[in-house]
A and B are shown apart, each in its own frame.
Chain A
Amino acid sequence: MDEKKILIIDDDVDITRSFQAALKDHYDVDTANDTTSGMAKLKSWKPDLLILDVMMETTLEGHRFAHNLRKEVEFADMPVLVITGMSDAIGVNIREAFTDSEELQNLYFLDKPVDPEELLTRVKKII
């Protein structure tokens, strides 16, 4: 059986590395530390799941990224696991921001800090 592919986008290398390590025994995992290279990898590699940090450097860069992603036909239905939990720091409710855009389909949320075991369990449920 082919291994399913997961792409992790987060600007924090420690986070992407540890997430990768937590998942790599079960999935084919690649990482990107900024949205530009993330988008390039998405297009060329076509992962089955995207794990996305929504609040890169305290802007809503991840949110914007997910927004643009949904506009593209090939990624319109791709499952996205959104890593949140920093929202409280700037007073933005991420889930609400996403709900407003009516794109909740195939969108999952996980709060930082994320335990690797918990991450694996969650990913198994999604794909």
Chain B
Amino acid sequence: MEPRKIKLVQFAYWLIRLRWLGVLGIVLVTFFSSRILDISVEETSLYVISAGFLLLNVFHFILLRRIVARNTEYLLRRVKKLINFQISSDLFVLTLMLHFSGGIENPFIIYYIFHMIMASIILSPKESFLQVTFALILIGLLTISEYSGIIPHYPLEGFVTHNLYTTEIYLIGTGIIFITTSYLVVYITNSIAVQSRKHEEAYIQANRELEKKDNIKNEYVLRITHDIKGHLAAIQSCLGVANKKIKDFPAGDCPEFVERAYKRTNILVRFIKDLLYITKMKLHDQFEKSGFSIRESVKRIVEDLKSYAEQKSIEIKINIDDSVDQICGFQVSIEELISNLLTNAIHYSERNGKVLFNVGPLDNKVLFEVIDEGIGIPVDEQDLIFDEFYRASNIREKDLDGTGLGLSISKKIVENHGGEIWVESQVGSGTKFSFTIPGCLSLQNKT
């Protein structure tokens, strides 16, 4: 059952429990007033009304249980109707009892207010105003009927000595105070109830959001565990073979499997390093940014990649526009980003290919382009390659080395700098990665 339904049903049961106490209370007060305080009370009538009230409550109880047991889609509406009916019948019983115990002279008239508060808490503003109007009509009818002698008045002799029920000024004064108090109580309680309902809804919504996030996190952890386990399974399997061969001398296949296990361990270590890096970036969105020379950085990165490019006879062409020199950002991250993209470009190029690296101004940003003539990325996967763990289908088969995190790290770095990254590619003819980093000026304006 939804929380709202549960709450309403609980409230209805609570009203019923309260009414058992009410019946007991009426009997005790009647007995005490009549026998001990010696006030003239219509004892028999009040006991009969109490019995009727008890039966009514039994009826409500059974009805509520049946509604809850059926649990149809109309449950909410039916329980609300029942509560409305309960409160109306309470008001009627209270009026009847007041009639036999002094009418408007009886201070128990205040008990109407309790019902109004309860109605305002659980019912809609319209329903609660209707209930209060109903209560006021009942009291009004009772008072006028007793005043004009249509029905008899049963005075509380020994408690109220004067015939207040015929004193006009008392009736008018009490009437005005009672009417205003009633409507004010309903208005105030209703406002508070509506507000608290809103808070509660916001709280439930926030809770739902949290649950969703928690699920995403769990899936993330599962995904990571899966990747780590895959590498470990391969390492264990390879070492298992090597281990057995060493025992069963001669150790013919050992080097191959030790090497496989070693390479796989390297991938796993890199995977975990990437994972730590990306988690760190997620935790600390803000880096301390500073100005640095992009020329110097690129020189260093290309130097580092030189031997890898030479292995595959790939030429790297650098073209940095004269207007660009200083870049504002987190130097280590930006260098990692450029290095990532250049390494990919070399990695997925055929032998004797060309890799182009352009840096130039674009509005008040700096545009970077890494262009290769490699295997390319299928069009329908171009949106996915920046997702964590995603690896394009045409590279999955070819090499096991990728962690599926490189591009998502790159994207995160660009986003942390307030830039954009995108890809244009065609399978078989090459790929162009572009990203922008806002220029120094706009960054300074931001901070």
Closest CB pairs A-B (n = 4): A89-B226, A113-B233, A14-B234, A18-B237
List, in ascending order, chain B residues with CB within 8 A of A90's CB.
222, 226
List, in ascending order, chain B residues with CB within 8 A of A76's CB.
none
Contact of B230 among A12, A19, A114 (CB under 8 A): A12
Contact A86 B230 (CB under 8 A): yes
User: Once bound together, how far apart are the Cα atoms of A42 and B229, in whole Å?
Assistant: 28
Contact B244 A88 (CB under 8 A): no
Contact of B238 among A14, A91, A117 (CB under 8 A): A14
Contact A18 B396 (CB under 8 A): no
Contact indicator per residue, chain A 1-30, by CB within 8 Å of chain B (1) or not (0): 000000000011111011101100000000
- List, sorted by A's number, 11 A–B pairs whose CB atoms are closer than 8 Å: A12-B400, A14-B237, A14-B238, A14-B261, A18-B237, A18-B240, A22-B244, A85-B229, A88-B222, A91-B222, A113-B233
Interface residues contributed by chain B, number (CB under 8 Å):
26
B residues near A (Cβ < 8 Å) are: 222-223, 225-226, 229-230, 232-238, 240-241, 244-245, 253, 256-257, 260-261, 264, 396-397, 400
Contact A19 B237 (CB under 8 A): yes
Tell me the residues in window 60-115 of chain A with beta carbons closer than 8 Å to chain B beta carbons. Answer: 85-86, 88-91, 112-115
Q: Closest B-chain residue to A112, C-beta based?
A: B233
User: Once bound together, how far apart are the Cα atoms of A14 and B265, in whole Å?
Assistant: 12
Interface residues contributed by chain A, number (CB under 8 Å):
26
List, in ascending order, chain A residues with CB within 8 A of B400's CB.
12-14
Contact B233 A21 (CB under 8 A): no
List, in ascending order, chain A residues with CB within 8 A of B260's CB.
14, 17-18
List, in ascending order, chain B residues with CB within 8 A of A115's CB.
236-237, 240
Tell me the minimal C-beta distance from B441 to chain A in angstroms.
46
Contact B257 A86 (CB under 8 A): no
Contact A15 B233 (CB under 8 A): yes
User: Once bound together, how far apart are the Cα atoms of A53 and B19, in whole Å?
Assistant: 67
User: Once bound together, how far apart are the Cα atoms of A22 and B241, in whole Å?
Assistant: 6
List, in ascending order, chain A residues with CB within 8 A of B234's CB.
12, 14-15, 18
User: Once bound together, how far apart are the Cα atoms of A14 and B225, in whole Å?
Assistant: 19
Contact A18 B238 (CB under 8 A): yes
User: Once bound together, how far apart are the Cα atoms of A86 and B48, in whole Å?
Assistant: 73
List, in ascending order, chain B residues with CB within 8 A of A116's CB.
237, 240-241, 244
List, in ascending order, chain B residues with CB within 8 A of A112's CB.
229-230, 233
Q: Closest A-chain residue to B223, C-beta based?
A: A89
Tell me the minimal C-beta distance from A26 to chain B in angstroms.
12
User: Once bound together, how far apart are the Cα atoms of A88 and B253, in whole Å?
Assistant: 33
Contact of A57 among B222, B236, B396 (CB under 8 A): B396
User: Once bound together, how far apart are the Cα atoms of A34 and B397, in whole Å?
Assistant: 8
User: Once bound together, how far apart are the Cα atoms of A112 and B396, in whole Å?
Assistant: 20
Tell me the minimal C-beta distance from A91 to chain B in angstroms.
7
Q: Closest A-chain residue to B222, C-beta based?
A: A89
